[in-house]
Structure 1
Amino acid sequence: MSEFKSVKSSRVTISQLMLPSHTNFSGKIHGGYLLSLLDQIAFACASKYSGNYCVTASVDTVDFLNPIEVGELVTLKASVNYVGNSSMIVGIRVEAENIQTGKVKHCNSSYFTMVAKDEEGKNTKVPGLLLSNYEEVRRFYNCIKQIALKKERNLHEEIFDYKSEEALLTLKNYNVKLELN
């Protein structure tokens, strides 16, 4: 296995025409269907980069920015933005193109944490990431910040006393009514 691999070597692009069978009750492409496509491309990207079977550890961000219509050509572009020991953060951009007008809109940005597994299902080391331009450096730093925020949030949840009088009093600022037993 190579010691370092480029971001470019991880890139995967898939395109799919959106059909009526992919819609929700409002006639737009169902978010769950899009999530399935996102998970598929995250798997392909991480597996291609690591050379191993990969599993989804977490879906860190899914921002639905614009609805996708039936008949649009959806293109998902994925690349590894960050690597740890056995984990990778895959960034995915989703664009939808009206194939009659050629107009393209950014519909979704997502970040999946994927973990490489060996033949026995144990976590396995992935190659280091070779950053070759400032955009790749920016994406790597953004991942570092996201990881730090996630750790801070998890620590906060562990030590926050939600039963304290102070915590309960702050709830009066929200649209909530307490009826505790």
Structure 2
Amino acid sequence: MEGKEREITLRFLAEPSDVNFGGKVHGGAVMKWIDLASYACGTQWSGKYCITAYAGGIRFVEPIYVGNIVEITAKVLYTGRTSMHIGVEVKAGDPKETDRYLKTHCLTIMVAVDGNGKSTPVPEWIPETERDISLRDAALKLVEMRKKISDEMTSFIE
């Protein structure tokens, strides 16, 4: 049922096929995982098929190694009319231990679409705790920052 679960955590082992030439998990693999978690979160919240409209602010904090257990937590931070701003944290660690350490974090925006690929409304998420209000406000600030960046980037487009 849509609008009930605003957070999801995916867990799996980093595999040898995820490795880059430096022997660590490839950043592109991490970005794919982020997209998968964002899709699952947005679809779970909206009850509709979702597409990625934006992924930004990706910060690679530490490398992930093959064999690490990876946890990707995606959480709705703000909802627009058809979009969901989703905060994503990627943590990883030795599967023989219980500790997981922050490796990457970012913000994605997923848009719910209908069977014709047109954007469609999503349930509103209303923050209740101080922390959730703070997260929503941060997401709204990022909206304004993205608009300014987009305006600046138009000067580079021919």
Q: Scaled by the length of structure 2, what TM-score is found?
A: 0.91
Letter in 2 for 1:154: S
Give the total of aligned pairs. Answer: 156
- Trace 1:24-35 onto structure 2 (pairs within 5 A): 24-35=20-31
Query: Where does residue 134 of structure 2 map in the other structure?
Result: 138
Separation in structure 2 between the aligned mates of residue 32 and residue 157 of structure 1, nearest angstrom: 24
**RMSD of the alignment, in Å?**
1.8
**Structure 2 alignment gaps of length 5 or more:** none
Deviations 1:108-157 (A, max 9, x none): 10111111101221110111112121111111001110000111222334
Structure 2 Cα separation of the partners of residues 29 and 12 of structure 1? 22
Deviating beyond 3 angstroms after TM superposition, the runs of 4 or more aligned structure 1 residues are none
Matched, 1:155 2:151: yes
How far did 1:58 drift? Answer: 1.1
Distance 2:15 2:148 in 1: 41
Deviations 1:45-100 (A, max 9, x none): 00110111000011122110000011110000111111111011111111102123
- Structure 2 letter corresponding to 1:126: V
Q: CA deviation at 1:102?
A: 3.5
1:11 aligns with 2:7: yes
Q: TM-score, normalised by structure 1?
A: 0.80
Q: Percent identity?
A: 30
What SS does the aligned partner of 1:82 have? strand
Q: Which amino acid aligns with 1:26?
A: G
* 2:124 aligned partner: 128
Cα distance in structure 1, aligned partners of 2:140 and 2:118: 24
